[in-house]
Chains A and B, each alone.
Chain A
């Protein structure tokens, strides 16, 4: 009888998790599974064959490089912005904070269009650059630019709260001990930011990897030149190549999963150390 009770307790403790899975099944898990089902419908051979085309290899590599570059640039830029917004006081600070978060709310297509209207051959800056033979749009640089814009808030969103919570006295203590602003940042602020930075970079990387709306506008969607993996997937869907599209989508999903696991795993050490200290 006692064992029955224990068993019941066990069951009831698993109920919330069960319910969660049930809710997430149609929302998240099944659509994700269907990607793999469709990708593998033509057999493993077809799956492989649709992946080793020059277009796919280029699109995947290009996406990874752009995502990495975006994450690195926004890690620097976002941290700097978060630092300025959090640690300095100037008129219009709050408003600037709101504006910097806007890219989350603006449809990415709009972002792409506005970039085009600014930097494109008929745009404000574009027209000035035209005589110099510089054409930033429809190049890899344009894709990078769009991704930096679209993913900017993620870094800000993860780093700024940490900075806001970091008591100023830590920095002041370092100052009184003779540390310059930079040394203080390096030795005191940065170590505190590590977690937020990592999360922010991961989010940025992931969003960049999957970005579509702005990319399709500014890239010109040129295969072997500016076509990212999501653009390739979309083109294939458009052409009715559901299997090819899902194959790449599956690779993207697996890639994201591996990358996230790896980075979290590599970061686990710092986390554990921190937890130990927290005791």
Chain B
């Protein structure tokens, strides 16, 4: 009797569980199907009809927000108004050196915005572009500027007021890596230049400044943005970076870090390169329109709003966050990048300072 009962209840259980299983299986299959449908949605025939024209842009790291959220939407609107066509931006951002390496490897970029002219010259050397195309653009291809500054922890606990403050023992500096980052190259010239331009300083001042700073470098990040992320996450006492980068991060309210303006520092200049071999004939007009737009007052104002200093000095007063620099200088003061790279980066920094530091 007992056994019979058990058997009965078992069979009921089996019947209901079969039904239940069927329901569950159907539900599972439905979820799968929905997921698949969602995934392939944009590629379904009905969705593909009017694919917009595209611009493929590679830029160095700190440009990302201003290009994707400021400049490009403005251009999109303008282009739509003028031609009735929608245009889409395909973009990638990374350390300037990384981007340049990618370009040399052959990524299909139509426009590149690089941190230094140095990288533009590498492109020419590698044959990505045949002539120095950027020199034919307004301002020799320089799209905007930003001075190199020092960012410190709230309250400036290490009492850093100039580059010279960085050489004191115990200061931990977050720096970028000159191998992949344009910012690093700018920073080294800034550090060197600030020292040699100091009134009454000798010819060795630059070298000893670099030695003092690099003795304290604890992190070499791959790009300006990566260095910023490291510093923001609490690492180090000082970060040498673009003013724009500091302003941008302050404006997002995510940090209460302080900006220290050196008495003398370099204004980095960022170069636009059109990779003409990647621009097909029918896109030429679109690319030219976009490049021209970069120097329009509208675009330059957007740059200023997001912390870059415009090549048009008149616009720069509109951003109250820009600090005063007593003695700004430019790469041309050192004879341009080609010369500065050899004499400052390679000869002094790499061949002497780094070797002196490494036991």
Establish whether A and B are touching in the complex (CB under 8 Å). Answer: yes
Partner-B contacts on A (CB < 8 A): 58, 60-61, 64-65, 68, 116, 120-122, 126, 135, 137-138, 220-225, 227, 235, 237-240, 258-259, 262, 265-266, 269
Q: Please pick, from B39, B64, B89, B226, the residue contacting A61 in the complex, using a CB distance under 8 A.
A: B39
Contact B29 A266 (CB under 8 A): yes
Q: Which partner residue on chain A sits nearest B228 by CB separation? A: A240
Which residues in B have their C-beta under 8 angstroms from that of A60? 39
CB within 8 Å of A: which B61-114 residues: 61, 64-65, 68, 88-94, 102, 104-108
Assembled-state Cα–Cα distance A120/B105 (Å): 7
Q: Please pick, from B29, B223, B254, the residue contacting A238 in the complex, using a CB distance under 8 A.
A: B223
A-B contact pairs, 6 of them (CB 8 A): A137-B105, A137-B107, A221-B94, A258-B35, A266-B25, A266-B28
Q: Apart from A60-B39, A240-B232, what 14 extra A-B contacts exist at CB < 8 Å?
A: A68-B39, A135-B106, A137-B105, A138-B107, A220-B92, A222-B92, A223-B68, A227-B92, A235-B93, A237-B229, A238-B229, A258-B35, A265-B24, A266-B29
Assembled-state Cα–Cα distance A259/B31 (Å): 10
Contact A116 B105 (CB under 8 A): yes
Instruction: Say yes or no for B40: interface residue by CB 8 A criterion.
Output: yes
Assembled-state Cα–Cα distance A14/B25 (Å): 32
Q: Please pick, from B32, B65, B106, B229, the residue contacting A137 in the complex, using a CB distance under 8 A.
A: B106
Which residues in B have their C-beta under 8 angstroms from that of A58? 42
Which residues in B have their C-beta under 8 angstroms from that of A137? 105-107
**CB 8 Å contact bits of B126-154 with A (1 = contact, 0 = none):** 00000000000000000000000000000
Partner-A contacts on B (CB < 8 A): 24-25, 28-29, 31-32, 35, 38-42, 56, 61, 64-65, 68, 88-94, 102, 104-108, 223, 225-226, 228-229, 232, 249, 254
Assembled-state Cα–Cα distance A41/B265 (Å): 38
A135-B40 CB under 8 A given contacts A223-B92, A239-B61, A240-B225: no
Residue with the greatest number of chain A CB neighbours at <10 A, chosen from B41, B64, B68: B64
**B22 CB, nearest partner CB in chain A, Å:** 11
Assembled-state Cα–Cα distance A251/B14 (Å): 37
Which residues in A have their C-beta under 8 angstroms from that of B41? 61
**B210 CB, nearest partner CB in chain A, Å:** 27
**B200 CB, nearest partner CB in chain A, Å:** 40
Assembled-state Cα–Cα distance A235/B41 (Å): 25
Assembled-state Cα–Cα distance A73/B90 (Å): 28
Contact B31 A220 (CB under 8 A): no
Contact B106 A223 (CB under 8 A): no
Contact B25 A265 (CB under 8 A): yes
Closest 7 CB pairs of A and B: A121-B106, A220-B107, A221-B92, A64-B39, A240-B229, A138-B107, A225-B90
**B283 CB, nearest partner CB in chain A, Å:** 15
Which residues in B have their C-beta under 8 angstroms from that of A120? 105-106
Contact A238 B226 (CB under 8 A): yes
Assembled-state Cα–Cα distance A135/B105 (Å): 12
Q: Which partner residue on chain A sits nearest B62 by CB separation? A: A239
Q: Which partner residue on chain A sits nearest B21 by CB separation? A: A269
Contact B91 A238 (CB under 8 A): no
**A70 CB, nearest partner CB in chain B, Å:** 14
Q: Please pick, from B32, B56, B61, the residue contacting A222 in the complex, using a CB distance under 8 A.
A: B56
Which residues in B have their C-beta under 8 angstroms from that of A138? 106-108
**B108 CB, nearest partner CB in chain A, Å:** 6
**A81 CB, nearest partner CB in chain B, Å:** 27
Q: Which partner residue on chain A sits nearest B255 by CB separation? A: A240
**A38 CB, nearest partner CB in chain B, Å:** 12
**A215 CB, nearest partner CB in chain B, Å:** 12
**B32 CB, nearest partner CB in chain A, Å:** 6
Q: Which partner residue on chain A sits nearest B230 by CB separation? A: A240
Assembled-state Cα–Cα distance A262/B27 (Å): 10
Assembled-state Cα–Cα distance A122/B102 (Å): 12
**B70 CB, nearest partner CB in chain A, Å:** 14
**B221 CB, nearest partner CB in chain A, Å:** 9
Which residues in B have their C-beta under 8 angstroms from that of A225? 56, 90
Which residues in A have their C-beta under 8 angstroms from that of B89? 224
Assembled-state Cα–Cα distance A220/B225 (Å): 18
Assembled-state Cα–Cα distance A221/B94 (Å): 9
Q: Which partner residue on chain A sits nearest B95 by CB separation? A: A238
Contact A220 B102 (CB under 8 A): yes
Q: Which partner residue on chain A sits nearest B94 by CB separation? A: A221
Assembled-state Cα–Cα distance A138/B108 (Å): 7
Which residues in A have their C-beta under 8 angstroms from that of B35? 64, 258-259
Which residues in A have their C-beta under 8 angstroms from that of B39? 60-61, 64-65, 68
Assembled-state Cα–Cα distance A222/B107 (Å): 9
Q: Which partner residue on chain B sits nearest A261 by CB separation? A: B28
Assembled-state Cα–Cα distance A225/B57 (Å): 12
Which residues in A have their C-beta under 8 angstroms from that of B56? 222, 225
**B291 CB, nearest partner CB in chain A, Å:** 19
Which residues in B have their C-beta under 8 angstroms from that of A262? 28, 31-32
Assembled-state Cα–Cα distance A58/B229 (Å): 25
Contact B226 A122 (CB under 8 A): no
Which residues in A have their C-beta under 8 angstroms from that of B93? 235, 239
Q: Which partner residue on chain A sits nearest B56 by CB separation? A: A222
Contact B91 A222 (CB under 8 A): yes
**A47 CB, nearest partner CB in chain B, Å:** 17
Contact A126 B31 (CB under 8 A): no
Q: Which partner residue on chain B sits nearest A130 by CB separation? A: B106
**A105 CB, nearest partner CB in chain B, Å:** 25
**A198 CB, nearest partner CB in chain B, Å:** 14
Which residues in B have their C-beta under 8 angstroms from that of A65? 39-40
Assembled-state Cα–Cα distance A269/B29 (Å): 14
Which residues in B have their C-beta under 8 angstroms from that of A221? 92, 94, 102
Which residues in B have their C-beta under 8 angstroms from that of A237? 229
Which residues in B have their C-beta under 8 angstroms from that of A61? 38-42
Which residues in B have their C-beta under 8 angstroms from that of A135? 106, 108
